[in-house]
Amino acid sequence: MSNAYNRPDQLSPELRRRVLDTARRLGYPGPDPVARSLRTRKAGAVGLLLTENLSYAFRDPAAIGFLEGLALACEDAGTGLLLVPANPEREDVASVHRAGVDGFVVYSVPDDDPHLAAVLERPVPTVVCDQPDLGTVDRVGIDDRGAMYELARHLIGLGHRRIGVVCMRLARDRNDGFVTPDRQHAAHFHVQRNRLSGLAEAFSEAGVDWSQVPVVERFDHNMASGASGAAQVLDRDPQVTALICTSDVLALGAMTEAARRGLRVPHDITVTGFDGIRAGEEAGLTTVRQPVLEKGRAAGKLLLDANERSRPRSVNLATELIIGKTSAGPRGGVEERWFGP
């Protein structure tokens, strides 16, 4: 029976025809994929776990790029891509247990996410993205710390010393406001923690007291958050000469807030982002470009040729500092001093 469908060479055409005929007559709907998966131990799909609601995957430009790359790898291998619902509010780990997949890709979730723990307990290969190296599973990411350090050096070179920062959520709890040094250090999102630490290092080296730098956190990741975060920084210290955002989306929001206050970018204030999304490019944003599509594709490739117990691999992709037209020397001209006598 199974052979009639899947292995036509194993039986005579005549019998095959007869089997298929009676199958149709009996209303047999074809082999059941679930039963097949049980028997063959192959689900033909990889699962994707991300920190946000499912639909976030289609709202955030960077996530979309990542998913496109991952989908590219999947279609090459002919496997499906299962988006696993993981509501960050509830600790609904059941969805991870219910997912019939051959492996997981975990995209930027907090270190202490119960869903991540649930994935790691399942006996399937896993690739984590934008996470610390767990040592036990494959990883792909970038050097967030180094990239942000480089961006900070650029701003320091321009003369900026009095800055403000708007970052994405640092932990699972909502904290829309200023961030204590403790919270920065203990941040559960690897990416944010490293970007902040890159900034802290560069500015500390340049003689800035990092503990005095206003760092504002936003739970939701969209332009409105960037705008309100920038507003909070500017309210606290109207003298800042640069707003450093840990994502392009936040930076674009910050620019609308600057405009609302009549501040010209970059003449009155410098704004920078991180990611290198299309909309940022169009706005001429100074940022760090990271290859989001390649990241997704690399994650898929890593997962799909998980060569039986090779040691866990760790891939770092290259980033590129993009100096756009949203960064310049601080108003009043430290720039002049820079090139002066």
**CA triplet 145, 68, 133: central angle to 5 degrees?**
35
Tokens for 243, please give them.
């707003």
Q: Does 22 bind DNA (CB under 7 A)?
A: no
Q: Does 32 bind its own copies (CB under 8 A)?
A: yes
Q: Does 123 bind its own copies (CB under 8 A)?
A: yes
Q: Does 89 bind its own copies (CB under 8 A)?
A: no
Look at residue 92 and give the partner it binds from DNA, its own copies, none, a contact being a CB closer than 5 to 8 Å depending on partner kind.
its own copies
Q: Does 161 bind DNA (CB under 7 A)?
A: no
**Helix axes 248-260 and 223-236, enclosed angle (nearest 10):** 60
Strand locations in the chain, DSSP E?
45-50, 80-83, 104-107, 126-129, 138-142, 163-167, 177-178, 215-217, 242-245, 270-272, 287-289, 314-317, 320-322
Tell which one of 40, 212, 307, 310 touches DNA (CB under 7 A). Answer: 40
**Helix axes 61-77 and 292-304, enclosed angle (nearest 10):** 30
> Contact, 30 vs 5, CB < 8 A?
yes
Tell which one of 4, 83, 315, 321 touches its own copies (CB under 8 A). Answer: 83
To the nearest whole angstrom, how small is the minimum distance from the Cβ of residue 40 to DNA?
A: 5
x/- mask, its own copies, residues 39-78, rule CB under 8 A, reads ----xxx-x-----xxx-xxx----xx-xxx-xx-xx--x
d(CA 43, CA 38): 8
Does residue 238 have a cis bond before it (omega within 30 degrees)? no
Contact residues toward DNA (CB under 7 A) are 1-3, 5-6, 10-12, 14-15, 28, 30-32, 35-36, 38-41
Contact residues toward its own copies (CB under 8 A) are 29-38, 43-45, 47, 53-55, 57-59, 64-65, 67-69, 71-72, 74-75, 78-85, 87, 92, 95, 97-100, 121-123
